[in-house]
Every structure is written in C-alpha cells, then in structure tokens.
Amino acid sequence: MISSLDARTQRFLSDLSVISNRLATDQAQLSSGRRINSVSDAPDEISSLLAARSELATTQQIHANFNRIKGETDSAEQALQQSVQIMDRVASLGAEGATDIMDSGQKQIIASELAGLEQQMVGLAGTATDGRYIFGGDFDQQAPYIYAAGNTPPYGAYRGSAATRQVLHPAGVRVPISLTAQQIFEDPDPSKNVFGAIESLRQQLLTGDTQSVSDALSRVRTASVHLNNQLAFYGTVQNQVAAALDYASSHEIRLKTQIASTEEADLASVVVDLNQTQIHQQAALQAESKLQTRPSLFDYLK
C-alpha cells in the first residue's frame, strides 16, 4: 500500500513512535521495578536470566528439603544419645550382676530393671518426627518394633524396610541421610546386636551363673561400641546438613544478586529518562503543530 503522507510527515510519525515506545518502556519499568519485562526488552539476556531463575528455584527447594531433614536428623541424634546412655546403664547393671556377691534375688531385681531399659530402647527405635518413624527405613508409617513384655524376645521382628533415601546436596551430589532401626539396634552380627545383647544379659541374670553373666556383659560392651558408631553416623549427617544449609543460603544470595543485576531497573535513571522523553515528545508535537498551522500564500492574498 502506497502512503499518501509526504516524506516529512512520515519521518515525524516514525520519530514520534520511537518516543512513544521509549515512554512506554520507562513507564513499564517504573511500575514493575524491572528492566526486563518481556523477551523483546533484552533478547540477548533472556537465556541466562531464565537459567538463573531455574537454578534459584531448585536451590530454594533443596534448602526447604534440608530444613525438613535437619529436624529428622536432630531427632535421630537425640534418640541415639539417649540410647547410648541407656546402654551405659545396662553395662553398669551387668557389671554389678557379674560379681559373686550377688544372690539370685538381687540378680532378678537387676534383670527387672534391664527389662524396663529394654522397653525404653525399643521405644527409641520407634522415634517419630512429622508423622514418620525415622528409623523405619522407606516403610516409615508404622513403628519398626512392637514391644510385648511376655514374649521372648519382647521386641518382635523388624517391621520396617531398607533405608534408600538420599538427598540432593546443593553442590549436586546425593548423600544418605538415615539408618534403619535394624541396622542400629538389631545388627545380624550378634556382637553388634543391641537388643540381643540386653536380652541375653537379662536372661543370664535370671537363670545363668556368674560366668554366663560376665560373657553376656562382654557382648553388651561390644554392642555399645556399635551403637556409638551409629551415633557418629548421625553426627556426620548433621554436619552435612548444616553445611548444605549454609551453601544453599549463600548460593541463593548469589543467584538473587545476579538476577537483580540483570532484570531490575535503575529507577533513578528511568525517572530522568522519562522526564527527558516527555519533554522531547512535547517539543516534537509543538513543532509539528506550528508547521501544520503555518499560513500559505493564498492566506496572504485574501
């Protein structure tokens, strides 16, 4: 289509359109606070900006995950701290019962206290946080053990599953975060079986001689070392979680700074540019108005 406008008018309208677009851009930046509001605002920077936003969203999700994991690992560490204390008490009672000066009645009293400690240990194996039995492995919606005082052994069979859960560290690696109650309290190696060691000591105090009690006490001490090793695992996990949270926090700050420097507008500069552009627009319109109202030769001949 051929335009009926003369070249000067076309140039004026083109220049006015540029000014109007500049005004619209400045106003959009002022209202949003961002320099980039659409792909056309900075096509060369959109790719890196979107990548930074995606990385920030991933990092924030990892940060939230580790906050939840922190509560779980803290509860696990506290439960194992209490378990170690119980095991120390079991060893102390066993040492008393392993002496020849204890008669059968006194040994039965110790055995009764051991039964109570064994029940406490089974309770700690069933520690729950946020609706999850944290030592139940991946099958964490029921207690790993059910204590039944009249049964032998009273703690029953493990009711959980293997622990395969891992968490993505902000640095990109996956780390294991939990052990099962079976790994901690009922290792298949009899020398590391915490429940088995307590139960054996209790039974020997009820029916065995001093040497049998002494042998059972030795098993308790070995199992106690194993229990402390499991506690050390959770101490390591706590350190990893703390480091991950620090890393995620600093990485979030870096990404937010990067995104802000890319997309946020320099509002002071935008205000100055908006004022100057408005002045240019008014001047252009006034100049065009004077040209349109300039008298022609026919006006002078009237």
Band (pLDDT 50/70/90 cuts) for residue 143 is very high
| The three-state (H, E, C) secondary structure of the chain, written as one string | CCCCCCHHHHHHHHHHHHHHHHHHHHHHHHHHCECCCCHHHCCCCHHHHHHHHHHHHHHHHHHHHHHHHHHHHHHHHHHHHHHHHHHHHHHHHHHHHCCCCCCHHHHHHHHHHHHHHHHHHHHHHCCEECCEECCCCCCCCCCCCCCCCCCCCCCCCCCCCCCCCEEECCCCCEEECCCCHHHHHCCCCHHHCHHHHHHHHHHHHHHCCHHHHHHHHHHHHHHHHHHHHHHHHHHHHHHHHHHHHHHHHHHHHHHHHHHHHHHECCHHHHHHHHHHHHHHHHHHHHHHHHHHCCCCHHHHHC
Is 39's pLDDT higher than 60? no
pLDDT at 300: 45
- Picking from 200, 203, 178, the residue whose alpha carbon sits closest to that of residue 190 is 200
Is 265's pLDDT higher than 60? no
Question: Other CB atoms closer than 10 Å to residue 225's CB: what's the count?
Answer: 11
pLDDT at 298: 46
Bridge partner residues of 175 (DSSP): 167
CATH classification code of 49-259:
1.20.1330.10
- Residue 14 backbone class (left: φ over 0; alpha: ψ -120 to 50; beta: rest): alpha
User: Taking all residues of the chain, what is their mean pLDDT, rounded to a whole number?
Assistant: 83
Is 221's pLDDT higher than 90? yes
Instruction: List, in order, residues 6 or more apart from 145 with CB less than 8 Å away.
Output: 122, 125, 126, 155, 156, 157, 158, 159, 181
Percent above pLDDT 70 for the chain = 73
pLDDT at 225: 97
Is 266's pLDDT higher than 90? no
Band (pLDDT 50/70/90 cuts) for residue 101 is confident
pLDDT at 230: 96
Mean pLDDT score, 254-258? 88
Mean pLDDT score, 3-22? 65
Band (pLDDT 50/70/90 cuts) for residue 1 is very low
Mean pLDDT score, 79-86? 98
Is 115's pLDDT higher than 90? yes
Q: Among 66-75, 131-140, 191-200, 261-270, which is the least confidently predicted range?
A: 261-270
Each domain of the chain, given as residue ranges in start order, spans 49-259
Is 272's pLDDT higher than 90? no
Bigger pLDDT: 183 or 296? 183
pLDDT at 275: 67
Mean pLDDT score, 204-209? 90
Is 297's pLDDT higher than 50? no
pLDDT at 84: 97
